[in-house]
Each structure stands twice: as C-alpha cells, then as structure tokens.
Chains A and B, each alone.
Chain A
Amino acid sequence: MRTLKFLLRKEFRQIFRNKSILPMIFVVPILQLLILPLAADYAIKNISLAVVDHDHSPYSQKLISKITSSGYFQLTGFCDSYKTAMNLVEKDEADLILEIPEGFEKNLIRESEQKLFVAANAINGTRANLGGVYLGSILRNFNSEVRMEWIPVTRFSPLATIEITSSNWYNPHLNYNYFMVPGILVILVTMMGGYMAALNIVKEKEIGTIEQINVTPIKKYHFILGKLIPFWVIGAMVFTVGMLVSWLVYGIVPLGSIALLYGYLAAYLLSVLGFGLLVSTYSETQQQAMSVAFFFVMIFNLMSGLYTPIESMPDWARMISHFIPVTYFVEVMRMIVLKGSEFHNIITHLVAILLIALVLNVWAILNYRKTSS
C-alpha cells in the first residue's frame, strides 16, 4: 500500500503539472459538447427546393407558399422548365425539384385529381429521403385542405379514412440534443480516458523511466494501479464537467438516479482504461499508441450505435458492436438519462461491461509481463 501511495503521489504531481492536461479535462468537454450536437442533428432543415410552376394559378401559389412556410424548405429557384431546374441540381444549388404541371388548378377542380412530380438529388440519401417525406406530407395536408373546401363534411363521409395519432415517449419534442448529448459525452470520456492512459504509460517507455521502475521492487500490479487510478479519477471529472454542460446548456437532467449513472461510469472506465493499457503494451512510442488508439476509437464511434441505430446494421456489424464498450454505455446513458431506467434494467449492460473490462485488463497485464521479462 505504501508503494502505491508514492506511485499515486508521483502520478498526480506529473499530471497536474502538465500544462496541457487541465484544459483537456475542462475545456475540451465543454467545447465538444457545445459544437458536436449541432453537427449531429438529424432533423433536416434548409432543404433547397427548385419549383417548376407551369400553371401559375392561385392554387399553385398557395401550394408553394405552404411549402416555404413549413420551415424545412428554402426556395432556391423558380424555373420555367424542368431542364433549368435540373441545372440547379447539377450545380448543387437544389436538392429537390417540384414540378407543377400546366392546368394544375383546372384539373384539380374539374377532375378532383391531379399529379405532381417530385425529383430528388439522392447523392445525400438522408437529405433526399427526408426531404421527399416532408414534401409528401405537406402535399397530403394540402390535399386534405382542398378536399375540406369542396366536399361538405357530412356525417357519413363517403371515404373512410384512418387517422394516425402518435405520441413520442421519453423525448416528446423529438429534440435531437436529448438523444445526442449523452452519447457524445460517452465518446468524450472514452477518448480522454483511453488516450491519456495509453500515452502516459508509453511515455515512460519512451523516456526510459520504465526500465528504472522495472529494476525496483515495484510489483506490476502496483505500477498498473498507479497508472489506472489517476485516469479513473480524471475520467470521472471529465464526465462530471460534461454532465454540468448538458444540464446548463441543454437543460438535460437525468430522469434516473445519478448515483446509478456514476456507478455504471465506474465500471465503464475500467474497460476504457483497460483498453488504454492494452494499447500501451503493444506500442513503443507515443505516435504508435496514438495511431492504434485512433483506429479503434473511430470504430467505437461509428459502430457503437451513437450515430446510427445498431438494429439497422448488417449482422456482422451488430456482432462487432457487442464487443465495443461504448455501445453499452451509450445505451445505458440514454436509458438512465432519458427513460429513468433503474438498476434492474441495466444489469445485462453492467455484466457485459464488466466482462469486457476483465478481458481487456487481464490481456493487458499478461502482455505487459511478457514484454518486460
């Protein structure tokens, strides 16, 4: 225990003397949490729309103003032909083309039926898709308004319609920040904890002090604990700063127990630090450690279900995501923060993360022994 005391004292002195670490702990999480959620907002706004109006009638005007007033679309061009509108798409100035045929109003009134043409630039699939959906729903709305005007509402409507009302649980306003911010915080804690632990250990290899440590009576587990405990504390600090930012800036207050959240964080950090430790045992220089860690953190980011739902990934990708610690914490964060889940809801997640932590740490310790004896 006494050895550990001296190791920890040394680590904390070095960490807090390092001028770049304090900003890393406080400034990086704040900035990232302010910037990233803006970029990771899936609600698509400002879809640029080119309109080709062959009709120039009051109804077509009404339709266009309804579309522009929805807030999703930005009218970038009024074209007189489909061809000129297509030019706008080619120049990337328009995402969608809405073509209103000649006689739109006339046919609508006379035949109570009219066709519109929508073309989408599908290079950005999500944008085209969602834009099409939004436009479709506006057109349906317009359609029913028109019908209301003409068909007197009778008790026995000739057409049976099914109307769907939905309610969005846990995030009623479909606010993307509620969804993304807790997830981004997980990534932050992962990166800070994993990178910093790995770099710190490799740095001792690089400057040669590890050789000195190896000839002292310090036990391997002392040395490893001396490295893990400080970064465990730092990980918890980063997380706390992040939670404060999400409360103050985004008004996100966990519905569930904060103690439970920290309890899970404690287990989660074990796995992250185990990862950092493992990377450090395979690297001789800080550059190597950085590249290896970066490779994995990229995978963690993209395959953990933070940005895209795991359910829609192919089977092999879903398999991989089960081995990524980030996956579990992102889910647990969303469960506890948004749904107010309780301990019994997250038991499987807890067992999974503890297993991952165990495997990574044991692997790292075995590998560490091998390289130094």
Chain B
Amino acid sequence: MREPVIKTEKLTKRFGDFVAVNEISFETYPGEIFGFLGANGAGKTTAMRMLCGLSIPTSGKATVAGFDVFTHRDDIKQNIGYMSQKFSLYEDLTVLENIEFYAGIYGLTDREIKDRTDELIQKLGLQKEAKHLVASLPLGWKQKLAFSVALIHRPKVVFLDEPTSGVDPVTRRQFWNMIYEASANGVGIFVTTHYMDESEYCHRISIMVDGNIEALDTPANLKKKFEADSMDEVFYQLARGAKRQAD
C-alpha cells in the first residue's frame, strides 16, 4: 500500500466556542488530485492553513508529506508547494528573478536553480519574457508561472487555493493540463475551487459543510449516490443544509 501524502484523523480547529473544522479525517495519495470543496465559511481555508503549517490544530492528528502538523511544521513547509488565489509572485521582479528567489529560499543549489529555471522557461515558452517584469504578463501566464514556481523545489504535495479564479476558460484548460502533468509525476494535488465543472477533473472530492466533511468519493460515485446529473447538483444538495452564514 502506498504511503499517503496527507493523512488526517479527527483534525479539529476551534476558535473559542466556534468549531471551524470539526473532526475531519481523510487521506490523499501521491499523484492523486484531491478536490476540497465547500461553500464560503465552511472551514476549507482553516483546514488548509493547518495542513500548510500556518495554524496549529486544536486536536486530532495529521501528517503532511510524512511530517506531523504539531511538531514538524518546518519540515512540512520544505516539502509542500502552495499557490493561493491571491497572486503570489512579485510583480516588480522579472520572471527569472522570481524563479531564482523562490528556488533559493527552498535551499536549491546554484546548479539546480540554473537547470530548473532553464527547464521551466522552456516548458512555459517564456524565453522572450524571461527578463520582463512579471507585472507585464497577462494574468493567465502569471498563474501558470506561479504554479510552476510552486513546484520548483519538487514538493511531495502542492496546495492550490482557488488557483483558476479570474482566468479565461482556455487558460483554465491549460492550467488543468499542467495539474495533470504534475499529478502524473507523482505530486499529490490538493485543490480548492468554486467551479463545479472543474471539480469533475479531480480524482476524488470532499465536500465540507459547516466544518464537517459531508461527502468524500470520486465524482462519479458522488453523482450516483446523490442521484444527480452534475457535481453542481451534488454540491447544491449538500450546501443547502448549511447553517453557517458565508463570511
């Protein structure tokens, strides 16, 4: 049996009386694209912050890339990639400078930095733009670059927080092709999204409602179980019962 890249057991986060994340348990595997769905305020972001080592859980257990979220947060950070809905590259640095910076702070050697930069520029076809400021690139290219940079240190798992919000359908398609490629290379993908059609691209999906995981299965099985034609309908059936107000 393969080792899971993310494993949680009754992972909980409380803020005072408020239970943001209530005893969630799941596992994801290398190369698996795991869709993490939920309405705004359902607790997705809190759960993700705990898994990235940004926030300490209240109770439960979890390991990411084999490291404990309570005791080895620094090791976790070294072994995960992260890309958020907020654009995460420096606009006032060039493409090359951004790649060099992120590669450098993950401790890559100069040799590795050079090789991976060349490879990345080649793959994205950014030869002409390499020395341009990131601010001058179209949004879609920035997103693709940000994703590639999040993978520069070859993490075991990459967290994508609504990575495609605001990009056009064509770029979204290309973006998902990049996700599939990373997945084929054995990187675990943990992705949140609000686009239900996108969720169908995932291998497995969990849907959070009010801090609990209410459903967890492949898109096909979920549709069967909820007798729905689309993921949209599945999501609607579950989210309708939510008591929490979106924030």
Q: How far is the CA of A317 from the CA of B154 in the complex (A)?
A: 58
Contact partners of B52 in chain A: CB under 8 A? 215
Q: Which of A1-56 contact B (CB under 8 A)?
A: 2-3, 5-7, 9-10, 13-14, 17-18
With CB as the reference atom, state the residue of chain A lying closest to B98: A10
> Are B97 and A13 in contact (CB-based, < 8 A)?
yes
Quote the shortest CB–CB distance from B108 to chain A (angstroms): 10
Partner of B106, one of A5, A207, A217: A217
A214 contacts B104, C-beta separation under 8 Å: no
In the complex, B91 has a CB within 8 A of chain A: yes
How far, in angstroms, from A208 to B84 measured CA to CA in the complex?
9
Give the distance to chain A from B90, nearest Cβ to Cβ, in Å: 6
User: Does B87 interact with chain A (Cβ within 8 Å)?
Assistant: yes
Assembly CA distance A7 to B104 (angstroms):
9
A165 CB–B CB distance under 8 Å: no
Interface residues of B toward A: which range? 20 to 34
CA distance A6 to B105 in the complex (A): 6
B110 nearest CB neighbor, chain A only:
A2
**Given A10-B90, A209-B88, A215-B80, A373 and B54 contact (CB-CB distance below 8 Å):** yes
> Once bound together, how far apart are the Cα atoms of A22 and B127, in whole Å?
31
B71-102 interface (Cβ within 8 A of A): 74, 77-78, 80, 82, 84, 86-93, 97, 100-102
Q: In the complex, A3 Cα to B74 Cα: how many Å? A: 14
Q: How far is the CA of A330 from the CA of B106 in the complex (A)?
A: 43
A212 touches which of B53, B78, B88 (Cβ 8 Å): B88
Complex contact B77–A217 (CB within 8 A): yes
* A216 close to B (CB within 8 Å): yes
| Minimal beta-carbon separation of B48 from chain A (angstroms) | 10
- Residue numbers in A under 8 Å from B101 (CB-CB): 6, 9-10
Q: Is B216 an interface residue (CB 8 A)?
A: no
Q: Give the interface SS of chain A, mostly helix, strand, loop or mixed.
A: helix
Q: Complex formed: what's the CA distance from A212 to B98 in Å? A: 12
Q: Which residues of A sit under 8 angstroms from B54, Cβ to Cβ?
A: 214-215, 372-373
Measured in the bound complex, the distance between the Cα atoms of B105 and A212 in whole Å is: 12
Mark out the residues of chain B between 38 and 74 whose CB falls within 8 Å of any chain A CB in the assembled complex.
Answer: 52-56, 74
Q: Is A80 an interface residue (CB 8 A)?
A: no
- For B93, the chain A residues whose CB sits under 8 A away are 10, 13-14, 17
- A207-B87, A212-B84, A217-B77 known; A14 and B104 CB under 8 Å? no
What is the bound-complex CA distance between A281 and B80, given in angstroms?
A: 26
Contact A373 B56 (CB under 8 A): yes
8 Å CB contacts to B: which residues of A193-217?
207-209, 211-212, 214-217
**In whole angstroms, how far apart are the Cα atoms of A310 and B105 in the complex?**
48
A10-B93, A373-B54 known; A211 vs B88 contact (CB < 8 Å)? yes
Q: When chains A and B are docked, how far (Å) is the Cα of A18 from the Cα of B56? A: 37
A211 engages B92 (CB within 8 Å): no
| Complex interface: chain B residues within 8 A of A18 (CB) | 92
Q: Contact at B80–A17, with CB atoms within 8 Å? A: no
Chain A, residues 215-251, CB within 8 Å of chain B (1/0): the string is 1111000000000000000000000000000000000
Q: Write the B149-185 contact mask toward A (1 if CB under 8 angstroms, else 0).
A: 0000000000100000000000000000000000000
Q: What distance in Å separates the Cβ of A200 from its nearest Cβ neighbour in chain B?
A: 12
A216 touching B97, Cβ below 8 Å? no
The answer on a CB contact under 8 Å between A207 and B86 is yes
Contacts A2-B107, A372-B54 given: A217-B84 contact, CB under 8 Å?
no
Instruction: Please tell me if the beta carbons of B102 and A211 are within 8 angstroms of each other in the complex.
Output: no
A3 touches B84 (CB 8 A): no
Residues in B with CB closer than 8 Å to A6 are: 100-101, 104-105
A207 to B88 Cα, complex, angstroms: 8
- Inter-chain contact A209/B105, CB cutoff 8 Å: no
| Bound: A215/B78 CA distance, A | 9
By a CB distance below 8 angstroms, the chain B residues around A17 are 92-93
Given contacts A6-B100, A212-B82, A372-B54, contact A218 B105 (CB under 8 A): yes
Chain A residue at minimum C-beta to C-beta distance from B73: A373
Closest to B80 in A: A215
CA distance A9 to B86 in the complex (A): 24
A97 to B206, CA, bound (A): 88
User: Which of B78, B84, B100, B104 interacts with A211 by CB under 8 Å?
Assistant: B84
CA distance A17 to B91 in the complex (A): 11
Contact flag A216-B77 (CB < 8 Å), given A7-B105, A13-B97, A207-B87: yes
Chain B residue contacts of A7, Cβ below 8 A: 105
* Chain B nearest CB, measured from A206 CB (Å): 10
Q: Which among A9, A10, A17, A209 has the greatest number of chain B C-beta atoms within 10 A?
A: A10
Residue of B nearest to A218 (CB): B105
How many angstroms between the C-alpha atoms of A254 and B52 in the bound complex? 54
A217→B90 contact, CB < 8 A: no
- Annotate B119-131 by CB proximity to A: 1 below 8 A, 0 otherwise: 0000000000000
Alpha-carbon distance between A3 and B84 when the two chains are bound, in angstroms: 22
Contact of A2 among B53, B56, B82, B104 (CB under 8 A): B104
Q: What's the nearest-Cβ distance from chain B to residue A174, in Å? A: 49
Chain A residue numbers with a CB within 8 Å of B82 are 212, 215
Say whether, besides A214-B54, A215-B77, A217-B78, A3 and B87 are in contact (CB < 8 Å): no
Q: Is the CB of B74 within 8 A of A217?
A: yes
| Residues on the A chain within 8 Å of B89, using CB | 209
14 of the cross-chain contacts (CB-CB < 8 Å) are A9-B101, A10-B93, A17-B93, A211-B84, A212-B82, A212-B84, A215-B54, A215-B80, A216-B77, A216-B102, A216-B106, A217-B105, A218-B105, A373-B56
Interface pairs A-B: 10 shortest CB-CB: A208-B86, A6-B104, A212-B88, A215-B82, A217-B77, A217-B78, A10-B101, A215-B52, A14-B92, A6-B105
